[in-house]
Amino acid sequence: MIDHIEKNGEQKEDRMLDRLDRRRLRLAGLGLVVATALVLVAGAVAGPRAAACGDVVLNENSWVGSTANVYVIKNVLETRLKCKVKVLNITEGQPAFQAMADGKIDIVLEDWQNLPGTPYEKSKSVVSLGTNGITGVIGWYIPRYLLQQYPAMKTWRGIRGKESVFKSPESGSQGMFLGGDPSYVQKDRALIKGLGLNLKHVVAGAEPAQVARWTQLYKQKKPVLFYWYDPQYLNAQYQVVQVQLPKRTATCKDDEKKGGDPKQYACAYPSYRLDKLVSKEFLASGSPALKLVRAFKWTSKDQNVVANLISGKKLSKDKAAAQWVKANAKTVNAWLK
């Protein structure tokens, strides 16, 4: 908060405060009317309100890792800082950013570098607070058992010539490459072309649909080659290994929508820094929750533990988070210092 304002010139600061004031006034007026109406018509029902921290809105995304982040932070906010936390489920990417710009979401705890390059980054209505401690890895994966029969498949070269191992009902004589969720960064079509592999890119749809495809093959100990990532709690349940793709070079391209020569894409995916994002309004609010979010940092192992409690052990999200927070008081205390 403080360094944020210091960065601005004095004039800018004045203008901002002025703007904020006007806006607050308007908001307060509107709020008063709405509140009175609600009190009169429906009666006040809200329970005891936390004084210090106030309301904080977190956004939960569709993958379990994100759920783990959100509910752990929710637990700490509620139990330690006495905040009133609301969790939204706005779809990731642009809709969530717009919601942040509108002040409807305060915090996103895991962004796979979707923010850079959007108008929201340029207008600073959504601001990155840096890494949540986890590095995201995207790549080509195969089940570990496959390596017993085809040890060379550790790298992409081992797949060349053996593509038909991955044959499926829809791939004809070619091997099947099972593509990823539409919301994830992908360049597999270009990669296949660039590497000259005889694979057919088959879209499996959203993540749960893709999981259905590859886990069924896994359970039957059949070969399967698919787009996958880490951290992912299923990686603890299923033994999968990454296929080494050609090393990254300076000219490496990653978003196949940009087009061009497929050869330029023929290199491994980059690793992703998973960022915490906050809205401009929340950044200026000086909420104690902001301090916690700044300090929040954990590992993919931590995240997988919580994710597995939710998805594997079927604990409720709140219970799973509470269990982890209790067992990791030291880490949590460090966030609150």
Partner 1 sequence: MSGVVAEASTVVTPALSHRPWWRGQPVQVALVIAAMWLAYRALRLEYPWPSRLAWETLQFELDRFQVWLIEQRSAEDKNVVFAVFDGFRALIDDLVRWLEELLLWLTWVGTGAAGTLVVWRFGGLRAALITLAAFALFALTGLWAESVQTLALMLAAVGLSLAVGIPLGIAAGRSRQVARFLTPVLDAAQIVPAFAYLMPVVILFSVGPAAAVVATMVYAIPPAVRITALGIRGVPVNTVEAAASMGSTRTQMLTKVQLPLARRMVLLGVNQTILFALSMVVIAGLIGGGGLGAVVNSGLSSTPSVALLAGLVIVVMAIALDRATEAIAERTDPARRHLDAARLRIVRLQTAAVAAGIVVVIAAAKLAGVGSTYPPAAGVRQRTVTAQEWLLTRIQSVLDYVQDPTSWIFSVTEPTGIFILQKLLLPLQQFLVEGPWFTTLLGLTFVAFVVSGLRPALTTFVMLGAIGVTGVWGLAMDTLSQVLVATLIAVVIGVGLGIAAAESKLVSKAMRPVNDVLQTLPQLVYIIPFIYLMPVSIVPGIVAGVLYAFPVVVRLVERGLHDVAPQSVEAAGAFGATRRQVLTKVKIPLAGDAIMLGVNQGIIMVLAVVVIGGLVGSGGLGYEVAQGLVRGYFGQGVIASFAILALGITLDRVTQGTRKARKEGLG
For the CB of residue 14, give the shortest distance to partner 1 in the complex, in Å: 15
Which residues neighbour 4 within 8 Å (Cβ) at sequence distance 6 or greater? Answer: 283, 284
Residue 134 host element (H or E)? strand 126-143
Nearer to partner 1 by Cβ, of 205 and 286: the residue is 205
Decide whether 167 or 297 has the Cβ nearer to partner 1.
167
What is the smallest separation between the CB atom of 281 and partner 1, expressed in angstroms?
12
- In the bound complex, what is the minimum distance in angstroms from residue 154's beta carbon to partner 1? 26
The kind and range of the H/E element at 333 are helix 329-336
Q: Which is nearer to partner 1, 91 or 333 (CB)?
A: 91
Taking the complex as a whole, how short is the minimal distance between the CB of residue 40 and partner 1, in angstroms? 11
Written as one letter, the residue type at 245 is L
What is the spatial distance between Cα 21 and Cα 19, in angstroms, rounded to a whole number? 5
Rounded-to-integer distance, Cα 140 and Cα 63, Å: 19
Question: Which of 98/244 has CB closer to partner 1?
Answer: 98
Q: Identify how many contiguous H helices and E strands the chain contains and give both numbers.
A: 15, 9
Strands 126-143 and 240-243: antiparallel
Of the pair 39, 336, the CB lying nearest partner 1 is at 39
CB of 17 to partner 1, least distance (A): 15
User: Which residue in the block uniquely carries the two structure tokens 């070969």?
Assistant: 223
Looking at the Cβ atoms of 217 and 283, the one nearer to partner 1 is 217
Dihedral angle, C-alpha 29, 33, 34, 35, nearest 10 °: 100
Applying CB under 8 A, which residues contact partner 1? 19, 30, 34, 37-38, 41-43, 45, 47, 60, 62-64, 67, 88-95, 98-99, 101-102, 104-105, 114, 118-120, 123, 125, 168-170, 182-183, 185, 202-213, 215-217, 219-220, 257, 307, 310-311, 314, 318
Residue 291: how many other CB atoms lie within 10 Å: 15
- Least distance to partner 1, CB of residue 7, Å: 20
Cα–Cα dist 1/21, whole Å:
17
Closest CB to partner 1 among 99 and 277?
Answer: 99
**178-198: string of b/e by CB count within 10 Å (b at 16+)?**
bbbbebbbbbbbbbbbbbebb
